[in-house]
Structure 1
Amino acid sequence: MLSLLAPSACVLVGCIFVSSAEVFSLSDQYLPLWNETPGQFSDYSVENGKYIIDPWVYPKRMGMYKILLNKTANYFEKFAPDNEQNFLWGLPLQHGWQYKTGRLVDPTQTTDCGYESGDRLCISVDSWWADMNYFLCALPFLAAVDSGIMGISSDQVLLLPPSKDQTKFCLNVSSCQSSFPSTMRKWNALYKHLQSPSSSFEDLLKYLWEAHVSSLKDGYKIFEDRLEYYSKPEAGFGKDWCVVLDYLAAASFPTIFSTVSEFQQALPPRVLVDGDKAPFISDFTDLQNIVLLGLNLLHKVDSSTEFWEVTINVVCMECVLFVPSALAGICEERSPRKETADFNGLGKQSSIVMARIIR
């Protein structure tokens, strides 16, 4: 189903990209508290020769991403200046979106973790989003340490455990390697090829997405039950999100700052509650409503094995659609029958984009 329906994901992504390009700017709009976030290992405390990092405090976890970006910046200079083409930007941007939209708080409401009226910087171990993100923070970070590109030895970093369920999380390089060997190998493969002068941006993206998807699968198997803490719409969105990431991976979606920050404009700006039904959520933009609906449709299509023809109508209201030529090429290349992917409406003022996928 994945290879069959990749064109529909491309059309959905195309709807998200509006015509105005995002300026590369490290503002709090996309990266909350970025300037207050640690940016080097010396910003963390040291005990017994190890850097101690508490990933259950938002700035501390975000600091792991900042260090990773700083340490890998020189490897991306051949693609663009100022670290603009570093595809690891997608990780902190997504974490910042989770913080800004209230998805890192305690969904059980039994503690004040993450809430404005309580400990705002706290990341709740009961948050499904926070636990899934842990696997997209700790594993890539510790694999980078193990690869040598971080400039310290593998035994010099220790992550503090959460307040409960400690055995579900790996805390250092050795425990992550023993608990999640396949995923750690995939992250190490990315960093190995990143250090190779002959590696192309496209090849590196494939290694990134292989590691990314593997991390999510590891986390989902462990924390699926956390979705029970949420409303039906929010739990459904979480499941939809995991499915669409498979399609973004298949399309080698470039997770650089400009594309991800623009993509996030179409994502839900708050946690969904009972009664929210796209495309009729009054405090969401038209684009956010339509993309939320589209993600759900894509999940349903992905889960279905009983139909021969699927038509997905994505209403883009009054947005101006834009699909980068590289993305359009990927869509056409991955379409099993080129005539089944219709991109004629893209790049124009349009109210409806239709993708017809024939099995």
Structure 2
Amino acid sequence: MMALLSFWSFILVGCFAVSLAGASSLSELYPALWEESPGQFSDFKVENNVYIINPWAYLDRMGMYKILLNNTARYFEKFGPENEQNILWGLPLQYSWQHKTGRLADPSKRTSCGYESGDPLCISVDSWWADVNYFLGALPFLAAVDSGILGVSPDQVKLLPPPKDQMKFCYDVSSCLLSFPEKMTKWNLFYQYMQSPSSNFDGLLKHLWDAHSASLENTGDRFKDRYAYYSKPEEEFGKNWTLIVEYLAASRFPTTMIRVHEAQKGLPPRILLDTDVAPFISDFTSLQNTLLSGVNIVSSTHKLTGSSSLTLWKLLMNTQLARRVIVEIVDRFLFIVN
């Protein structure tokens, strides 16, 4: 089992090498257009005392994350200054990466949604990435509204639907609780634990990853018809990325601002093409090639073992000591890659 731990440590370290050397200002690490995004409910349109949010517009969806980060900051003060240790940073930073790499744009190219030549801040409902991200944006946000930590009542917030496939999504607290009760429950449990005076960092990570994993469960398959718009490598990367999340969830990887920001330097900087074969993609950095290769190795091993590799990984990650070792290895890997 120790050999297996070492193997997966090497792979995950390759995938998620991070630097703990902070930037001169944490604001340099903010997601794209963070400052321009709404930071309070009054920044949104109001109709009949209901805040109307368009999650198919980049700034509005980012604004949901910004309100969430702002209103949960007080619960993470005991772990570090300037809200840097808030483990919800992983959500807007992933969303920002998807935007910057073109993954939120219309992959069919039948519209100009998401493209510089058209509406660069439009989020396409035809994007597999955008649809899956919806469940990591709308659900944690509306569950936070439901928990009371955002200061508005559940009937005061309404999300606008996309131009098609409206039945695949939910748009307010009541409809999300009805359509996706298990996913919403996991987020509510996270917020309940977060507000507990006895909450600790490891416990917060457990509840966060439980909610994150629940949000993704069967969600990718819900939008599998979108795969037709992508190259085979991009399709596989999307599927494999949701698998990697399961391994990260088991290790309770700390999704704090600096760690996630630095880890994302290893993510593909653009949508993958049919000609892309890692680790030989010429316009990718060595870290990006390493990450993509590592993701492919984890996926192949997972398939070959009939998912028993994930079962073993979860068993190994059952102790806080093992999880701490993984984080320490990841942190120290910087000195190897740099």
TM-score, scaled to structure 1: 0.84
DSSP-derived class of the 1:182 partner: helix
DSSP-derived class of the 2:46 partner: strand
Superposition map of 1:20-39 within 5 A: 21-23=21-23, 25-27=26-28, 31-39=31-39
Identity of aligned residues (%): 57
Match of 2:189 in 1: 189
Q: Flag structure 1 segments of 5+ consecutive residues without an equivalent.
A: 310-325, 334-342, 352-359
Match of 2:101 in 1: 101
DSSP-derived class of the 1:26 partner: helix
Cα offset, 1:114, TM superposition: 0.2
Aligned: 1:330 with 2:316: no
CA contact (8 A) 2:234 2:272 kept: yes
Cα offset, 1:328, TM superposition: 8.0
Point out 4+ residue stretches in structure 1 off by more than 6 angstroms. Answer: 3-6, 306-309
Match of 1:249 in 2: 249
CA contact (8 A) 1:147 1:192 kept: yes
Residues 273 and 164 of structure 1: is their aligned pair in 2 closer, same or farther, counting only changes over 3 Å? Answer: same
Aligned residues: 323
Superposition map of 1:219-298 within 5 A: 219-298=219-298
Match of 1:51 in 2: 51
Q: Flag structure 2 segments of 5+ consecutive residues without an equivalent.
A: 310-318
Aligned: 1:301 with 2:301: yes
CA contact (8 A) 1:210 1:249 kept: yes
Residues 91 and 9 of structure 1: is their aligned pair in 2 closer, same or farther, counting only changes over 3 Å? Answer: farther
CA contact (8 A) 1:10 1:331 kept: no
Residues 253 and 67 of structure 1: is their aligned pair in 2 closer, same or farther, counting only changes over 3 Å? Answer: same
In the alignment, the residues of structure 2 paired with residue 159 and residue 307 of structure 1 have an alpha-carbon distance, to the nearest angstrom, of: 37
CA contact (8 A) 1:26 1:34 kept: no
Match of 2:316 in 1: none
Match of 1:146 in 2: 146
Cα offset, 1:92, TM superposition: 0.3
CA contact (8 A) 1:10 1:328 kept: no
In the alignment, the residues of structure 1 paired with residue 245 and residue 109 of structure 2 have an alpha-carbon distance, to the nearest angstrom, of: 29
In the alignment, the residues of structure 2 paired with residue 17 and residue 347 of structure 1 have an alpha-carbon distance, to the nearest angstrom, of: 6
In the alignment, the residues of structure 2 paired with residue 87 and residue 30 of structure 1 have an alpha-carbon distance, to the nearest angstrom, of: 14
In the alignment, the residues of structure 1 paired with residue 147 and residue 121 of structure 2 have an alpha-carbon distance, to the nearest angstrom, of: 30
Cα offset, 1:4, TM superposition: 10
Residue type of the alignment partner of 2:230: Y
In the alignment, the residues of structure 2 paired with residue 30 and residue 279 of structure 1 have an alpha-carbon distance, to the nearest angstrom, of: 29
Match of 2:114 in 1: 114
In the alignment, the residues of structure 2 paired with residue 139 and residue 348 of structure 1 have an alpha-carbon distance, to the nearest angstrom, of: 34
Residues 347 and 114 of structure 1: is their aligned pair in 2 closer, same or farther, counting only changes over 3 Å? Answer: closer
Residues 235 and 4 of structure 1: is their aligned pair in 2 closer, same or farther, counting only changes over 3 Å? Answer: farther
Cα offset, 1:18, TM superposition: 4.9
Match of 2:78 in 1: 78
DSSP-derived class of the 1:35 partner: coil
Match of 1:13 in 2: 12
CA contact (8 A) 2:17 2:333 kept: no
